[in-house]
Amino acid sequence: MSYSITDPSPRTKWFAGTLVILYALITLMPLLWIITTGFKSQSEAIAYPPSVLFEPTLEGYVNLFTTQTRVSEADLAANPPETFAEEIAASKGMIIVGPSRFGERFLNSVIIGFGSTFLSVVLGTLAAYAFSRYRVPLKDDLMFFILSTRMMPPIAVAIPIFLMFRTLGLSDTHLGMILLYTAVNLSLSVWLLKGFIDEIPREYEEAALIDGYTRFQAFYKVVLPQAATGIASTAIFCLIFSWNEYAFAVLLTSGNAQTAPPFIPTIIGVGGQDWPAVAAGATIFLVPVMVFTILLRKHLLRGITFGAVRK
Amino acid sequence: MAEITLSGITKDYGSARALDNVTMTVPDGSFVVLLGPTGAGKTTLLRMVSGLDQPTSGEILIGGAPVTARTPAERNVAMVFQQYSLYPHLTVRENLAFPLKSPLLRTPKDEITRKVQLVADALQIAHKLDNKATALSGGEMQRVSIGRALVREPAAFLMDEPLSSLDAKLRSDLRVELKSIQSNRGATFLYVTHDQIEAMTMATHVGVLDHGRLVQFGTPRQIYEDPVSVYAASRLGQPRINILPADLFAGAPWDAKHIGLRPEQIRQGEGEESIVTRIERLGDQTRLHLSYRDHDIITVTDPHTDLSHGDVLKIRPENPFYFDATGARTH
């Protein structure tokens, strides 16, 4: 694929390059800020003007993952620090009494985020295939209905959902959150995937039917591999939504199924907000989506520009 | 291999009738070509036989067994599509092996290797076996597509204009190749085309389709020498048959409205006078454009003719076809 008819002049290249780097700096700035804050000490994190060069410390990460308590000099001397983390705590006159809840909140995020993404993509692919290939009565109306579920912000129905979840016993459960995020993501996934599947010529499946395969085998062996790009990019969009979702998570979860987004801001340090710990939490929170996106990135570009380029 | 019988096949798409009461038998081991222009219902008929579409009414038998209610897989037919039929995510080898690996055939591994190699050699694609299917030229893709049908031993081969996207040289090579594969194997072929050369060179039988109706079925020679209508007569023959008002020449029967003259039905050198308007020298054939009482006639003459523009040539119909006002043959 070639996008330009002639090679751009060196000046154009230089200008375009500068622009891209500038833009990248601007968009990456907050990210850089969060990552560096995670490695600062409490005092440096709130220093004004902000310190650019500082001595990195893992204090934020230790605070994020542990629960600590302040003890007297005598007790501190009686329990000499053994591990690296305990040393950091001891330097502030604290000892570690156990792990924090960040680990389990993060695990909740993983279970709910990936669980709902998996479900949205599976259901979305099957529905999109049916809409694309079969004569479905009222097809256009149904597709519009599916789209219309996204025409208001999901949080607008927070109260009915809250009541529904309480009645059904889904409040603060993993299953409840997975179902909720799946319901929100499904319209996006059906519409996106229908577009991708529409682009796959029917002749491929028909050839497979003639070659001795059943309809489902033809779908599995011929359509799915061709739809891989669409499925991957749909999965990224679904994961980004359910991973980052904050409002429903605050409203519907409190302990058992709470995800990382509502938990991170509640990290309170001793004597004020523990900004390095919050930043450390945010940094770790960024990693899974980043890894997932990088793994699927070759599909993502085509997912975003899909429809714009003729094969 | 098996005989295919179609009885009373009708197919409606909404209010449009694509096939209208088609009854036809494809004899075992024959090469039947369905001929007709775009929209005549050729491909639709093929899809009925394959099971990809269901007829609105009528019945299909393959090898004597009714198959109308069966899935394409259960019918055990192989089909070559006009385009887009190679699985793009697979290599050429995997494409060729695909039907052999199906739950229908479950061929052992070494058997697959052997058959794939055999077909690849026959179609001269052996050197491309490990290429991705998308990395082939159009001609190679179509050969792989034909190969994927040939690896099997189905009840019948269905082909939907398999050669139409190829260049002239490859087309004539594959014409010969397909015909010899068919006669060596004694296979039953149902072949759709609008190319009359393919029909004339390969077919044992030709079915002429007109707006969903089968208007004539017979050997290519029968259809050429004894067409039932103006439409059927116009399907075969190059240059095309001349259709003129019947009263242009003396001796027309009372019920004839049109006279049909193929080049060999025009005796040159005697009869009425016509004027040469144009001479086309095609090498093996020289075409003569004549003007006769304000009507154009195209015929064939001696390749080394010394006739030229403006000359007068006498012509007389010899055993012509006569058609009535609806186009049906009367004599």
Q: Give the tokens for residue A86.
A: 């305990």
pLDDT single digits (tens) A108-117: 999 999 999 9
Contacting A residues, span 32-91, partner chain B, CB-CB under 8 Å: none
Instruction: For residue B73, list chain A residues with Cβ-Cβ distance below 8 A.
Output: 209-214
Which residue matches tokens 């490859």?
A: B170
Query: How many angstroms separate the CA atoms of B6 and B58, rounded?
Result: 8
* Residue B280, domain member (yes or no): yes
What pLDDT is attached to residue A26? Answer: 94
Which two three-digit tokens encode residue B263? 């080049």
Q: What angle is formed at CA B301 by the lines to CA B298 and CA B303, rounded to 5 degrees?
A: 130
- Chain A hits for B98, CB-CB cut-off 8 Å, are 208, 211
In this complex, do B51 and A213 lie within 8 Å of one another by their Cβ atoms? no
Q: Are B47 and B147 in the same domain?
A: yes
pLDDT, position A4: 53
Q: Dihedral angle at the C-alpha atoms of B33, B37, B38, B43, nearest 10 degrees?
A: -20
Q: Which chain B positions have a beta carbon within 8 Å of A201's beta carbon? A: 84
- Segments of A9-146 assigned E as strands: 66-70, 94-99
Q: Do B52 and A203 touch (CB under 8 A)?
A: no
Where does a domain end: B209, B235, B261?
Answer: B235
Q: Is residue B331 part of a domain?
A: no
Q: What is the pLDDT of residue A242?
A: 94
> Helices A228-244 and A297-304 sit at what angle, rounded to 10 degrees?
90
How far A195 CA lies from chain B's nearest CA (Å)?
A: 19
Residue A226: list chain B partners with CB under 8 A.
Answer: 88-89
- Which residue in chain A is spatially nearest to B53 when comparing CA positions? A206
Put simply, the answer to whether A204 touches B102 (Cβ < 8 Å) is no
The span from the CA of A31 to the CA of A44, in Å, is: 18
Q: Which two tokens stand for residue B270?
A: 């005697």
**A207: contact with B, CB 8 A cutoff:** yes
Q: A56 by DSSP, 3-state: which?
A: coil
**Domain ranges, residue B258:** 242-323
Confirm whether B329 is domain-assigned: no
Contact A177, A252 (CB under 8 A): yes
User: Does residue B305 lie within any of the structural domains?
Assistant: yes
CB contact under 8 A, A210 and B50: yes
CB-CB under 8 Å, A204 with B87: yes
The residue in chain A having the minimum alpha-carbon distance to the alpha carbon of residue B158 is A210
B87·A210 Cβ contact <8 A: no
Yes or no: say if B191 and B26 are a contact pair by the CB < 8 Å rule.
no
Q: Which residue of A has its CA nearest to B146?
A: A207
* DSSP letter (8 states) at residue A220: I
Residue B149 in domain: yes
> Residue B218 in contact with residue B230, Cβ under 8 Å?
no
Helices A158-168 and A174-198 pack at an angle, to 10 degrees, of 120
One digit per residue, the tens of pLDDT, for chain B of length 331 reads 689 999 889 999 888 888 998 999 999 999 999 998 888 888 999 999 999 999 999 999 998 889 988 899 889 999 998 876 789 889 999 999 999 998 878 888 888 989 999 889 888 888 889 988 888 887 888 889 999 999 988 899 999 998 887 888 888 888 888 888 888 888 899 999 988 888 888 999 999 999 888 999 999 999 999 999 999 999 888 888 999 888 888 777 888 889 999 999 988 888 888 889 988 988 888 898 998 888 899 999 888 888 888 888 888 888 889 998 888 888 7
State the total domains in chain B.
2
Residues B47 and B174 in one domain: yes
Q: Is residue B330 part of a domain?
A: no
Residue A288, preceding bond cis, omega within 30 degrees? no
Which residues of chain A lie closer than 8 angstroms to B150, CB-CB? Answer: none
A275-295 vs A102-133: helix crossing angle, rounded to 10? 30
For residue A103, the distance in angstroms to the closest alpha carbon of chain B comes to 41
Shortest distance between the Cα of B169 and any Cα of chain A, in A, equals 27
Choose the final residue of a domain: B182, B203, B235. Answer: B235
Claim to verify: residue B112 and residue B220 sit in the same structural domain: yes
Nearest to B52 among A201, A206, A222 (CB): A206
**B102 contacts A212? CB cut-off 8 A:** yes
Residue A310 has a pLDDT of 37
Question: Do residues B183 and B259 both lie within one domain?
Answer: no
**B34 is written with which tokens?**
């369905």
Task: Name, in order, each residue with C-beta under 8 angstroms of A170's C-beta and a sequence gap of 6 or more.
Answer: A164, A176, A179
Check if the beta carbon of residue B49 is closer than 8 Å to that of residue B77.
Answer: yes
Q: Is the same domain home to B109 and B217?
A: yes
Contacts of A85 (CB under 8 A, 6+ apart): A58, A62, A65, A66, A96
Closest CA to B32 of B166, B196, B217, B172: B217
The side-by-side arrangement of strands in the sheet containing B242-245 is B242-245, B258-261, B321-323
CA distance B72 to chain A (A): 5
Measured between CB atoms, does B14 come within 8 Å of chain A?
no
Q: Is residue B13 within 8 angstroms of chain A, CB to CB?
A: no
Do B311 and B184 fall into the same domain? no
Residue with tokens 């006739």, as numbered in its chain: B307
| pTM attached to this predicted model | 0.79
Nearest CA in chain A to B97: A211
Judged by CB atoms closer than 8 Å, whether chains meet at A212 and B71 is answered as no
The confidence score (pLDDT) of residue B311 equals: 87
Bridge partner residues of A33 (DSSP): none
Give the Å distances, CA to CA, from B138 to A106, A168, A186, B181.
53, 59, 39, 21
Nearest to A60 by CA among A35, A38, A44: A38
Q: Do A211 and B52 touch (CB under 8 A)?
A: no
Tokens at residue A274, please?
Answer: 């523990």
Pick from B51, B73, B84: which is nearest to A214 by CB? B73
Same domain, B137 and B19: yes
Determine the 3-state secondary structure of A52 from DSSP: coil
A/B interface, count of CB pairs below 8 Å: 61
Contact A203 B83 (CB under 8 A): yes
Scan for tokens 């004894």, then name that residue. B226
Could you tell me the two tokens for A61? 């990460």
Structure tokens at A34: 């969060």
Residues 71-110 of B with CB under 8 A from A: 71-73, 76-79, 81, 83-85, 87-89, 98-99, 102-105
Q: Are residues B162 and B289 in the same domain?
A: no
Q: What is the 3-state secondary structure (H, E, C) of chain B?
A: CCCEEEEEEEEEECCEEEEEEEEEEECCCCEEEEECCCCCCHHHHHHHHHCCCCCCEEEEEECCEECCCCCHHHHCEEEECCCCCCCCCCEHHHHHHCCCCCCCCCCCHHHHHHHHHHHHHHCCCHHHCCCEHHHCCHHHHHHHHHHHHHCCCCCEEEEECCCCCCCHHHHHHHHHHHHHHHHHHCCCEEEEECCHHHHHHHCCEEEEEECCEEEEEECHHHHHHCCCEHHHHHHCCCCCCEEEEHHHCCCCCCCCCEEEECHHHEEEEEEEEEEEEEEEECCCCEEEEEEECCEEEEEEECCCCCCCCCCEEEEEECCCEEECCCCEECC
Domains (range + CATH), chain A: 56-100 (no CATH), 103-304 (1.10.3720.10)
d(CA B136, CA A48): 64
Q: Which of A243, A287, A286 is nearest to A262 (CA)?
A: A243
Say if B104 falls within a structural domain.
yes
Residues B225 and B254 in one domain: no
Structural domain contains residue B328: no
Choose the final residue of a domain: B175, B202, B235.
Answer: B235
Are residues B183 and B49 located together in one domain of the fold?
yes
Q: Are B209 and B9 in contact (CB under 8 A)?
A: no
Check which CATH number belongs to the domain holding B89 and give it.
3.40.50.300
- Please tell me whether residues B212 and B78 are part of one structural domain: yes
CATH number of the domain at B288, please.
2.40.50.140
Q: With contact defined as beta carbons under 8 Å apart, do A148 and A186 qualify?
A: no
Task: Measure CA of the first residue to CA of the last residue in chain B; give whole Å.
Answer: 39
Q: With CB atoms and an 8 Å threshold, state whether A207 touches B148.
A: yes
Say yes or no: B104 and B86 in one domain.
yes
pLDDT in tens, A9-24: 888 899 999 999 999 9
- Residue B266 CA: distances (Å) to CA of B232, B274, B297: 19, 12, 10
- Give the pLDDT means over successive 10-residue stretches in chain A (311 positions): 64 92 93 92 85 86 87 80 83 84 93 96 96 91 90 87 94 94 94 92 90 91 90 92 92 89 80 84 91 82 49 37
